[in-house]
Amino acid sequence: MADTKPVSMGRQSRKYVPRARTKRPLGLQSDSSQSPNKPHPTPTKKGEKWFLPNPLASRLYQKSGLGSLDEEGILLEPLEVMFCHWNRHIPVSETWVNDRIQSDYNFIAKSVVFDVARSGGEIVIPVGNLPNDKFTNNTFAVKWSRNSSHFSSESLSQIRWFWASQEVDWTDLINWVNSVIEVGDLPEIFVIDDEMDITMYRISYEELSGNQGHWNHLSAKEVTALKDLMEQMTPTPTGCFIQGFSSWPLKSIGVEHLSGVNLRQEEIDWIINKLADDAVHETLFSHLTEQGCILRPGFKYGCKWRVYDDDVGNSHAPWLLQPISEAPSSWEQTCLSVRLAEGVHKKWVCGLKDSNDWRFLHIKRWLPGRV
């Protein structure tokens, strides 16, 4: 018998270099091209903030939007001190970081979020340095575009952050998103995991509509034929099967198979309500169907529906939709849903009732430096 080599199922040949993980070490790094000729002063505590004197303070405030003005200098939030230590050669004592963690167990996460938020070159200012009318409740920091003045230009976005393991309070999140959009900013979410790695999202509302025919487009003859067909349906474990027609009149409803059409229970309910002219509480399914969309099961994509704006045979579904009642419970699960959707070139949206209308919250991944 010929010798055979064991097949390694757990490892594959990799030709790419893994992404380097940022360690953000403590201690000033010596760099002849960037290190100052004269060491910068160490920040001193003043109230809940940290003081740096001019002229260094003036440069940090004017050019980088760091700190708030104080007599002969600026006052920095602790996370700004950490940013300046990593990026502006500002020294801190050996025990400074540990002391901050003891007083604020989220100090490391906040500092990493702030550092990453500024990595694209934008001006990012923590809300502790801003007047109340510049940000919305629960906002962590406000961002200005690159090459824009935070003194004279309108802000670009507002930032919130969460641990990946945190539960998503969808009501709170939606209220925050609405408030941020109302003042003309983009809502940005930074999610940090236990590796201190961050995934960033931007949130907006998406319009969902399609080109399929509406119920009102059916002729009286087609409605009568449909009523007769529904009376002949054969129940199945997930809906019903109908045969005995030459042409199925509702192209956006049901799946033609075995010389008939298979209907899901939600499709059966919608047709029955339409035949009865029942103007009951509008469901998410009926709203999207009457907007000309086709809704197909989203099981293989981990969602409620794939939503098409054209015939299934003509295009891919632009959206993967999850109703708010079935939305992911944690940011870990939300990240999985969004990543899966974008991996197959679709948008992940969450359907919710806002006042008397349906709205669709779109969460997409985003990287610093991109508008």
pLDDT tens-digit map of 31-68: 655 677 788 999 999 999 999 999 999 999 999 999 99
Domains 34-105 and 215-359 alike in fold: no
Vertex 287: Cα angle to 284 and 291 (nearest 5): 140
Element (H, E) at 172: helix 170-182
Residue among 83, 65, 75 nearest 44 (CA): 75
Q: Which residues contact 271 (CB under 8 A, 6 or more apart)?
A: 226, 230, 250, 253, 263
Number of neighbours of residue 161 by Cβ within 10 angstroms: 22
Residue among 342, 286, 332, 293 nearest 315 (CA): 293
What is this structure's pTM?
Answer: 0.89
Residue among 114, 118, 87 nearest 100 (CA): 114
277 φ, ψ (degrees, to nearest 5): 55, 45
| Second-level CATH architecture of 34-105 | 3-Layer(aba) Sandwich (3.40)
What pLDDT score does 2 carry? Answer: 58
What's the DSSP call for residue 330?
A: B
Q: What is the mean pLDDT of each run of 10 residues along the chain (371 residues)?
A: 57 68 80 74 95 96 95 96 95 94 96 95 95 92 91 94 97 97 97 96 97 90 93 95 89 91 95 82 89 96 96 94 97 97 97 91 86 51
Contacts of range 214-222, beta carbons closer than 8 Å, 24 or more positions apart: 214/290, 214/292, 215/274, 215/290, 218/249, 218/250, 222/249
Task: Judge residue 87's burial from the number of C-beta atoms within 10 Å of its C-beta, 0-12 exposed, 13-18 middle, 19 or more buried.
Answer: middle
Task: Judge residue 6's burial from the number of C-beta atoms within 10 Å of its C-beta, 0-12 exposed, 13-18 middle, 19 or more buried.
Answer: exposed
Round to the nearest angstrom and report the end-to-end CA distance of the chain.
63
What's the DSSP call for residue 292?
A: T
52 φ, ψ (degrees, to nearest 5): -125, 140
125 φ, ψ (degrees, to nearest 5): -120, 125
What's the DSSP call for residue 284?
A: H
- The size of the chain, in residues, is 371
Classify residue 347 as left (phi > 0), alpha (psi -120 to 50) or beta: beta
- In angstroms, the CA 162 to CA 185 distance is 19
Is 38 strand, coil or helix? coil
Per domain, the residue ranges of the chain are 34-105, 215-359
Looking at domain 215-359, its CATH class is: alpha beta
What pLDDT score does 33 carry? Answer: 59
Scanning 21-168, the segments in alpha helix (DSSP H) are: 56-64, 78-87, 96-103, 107-117
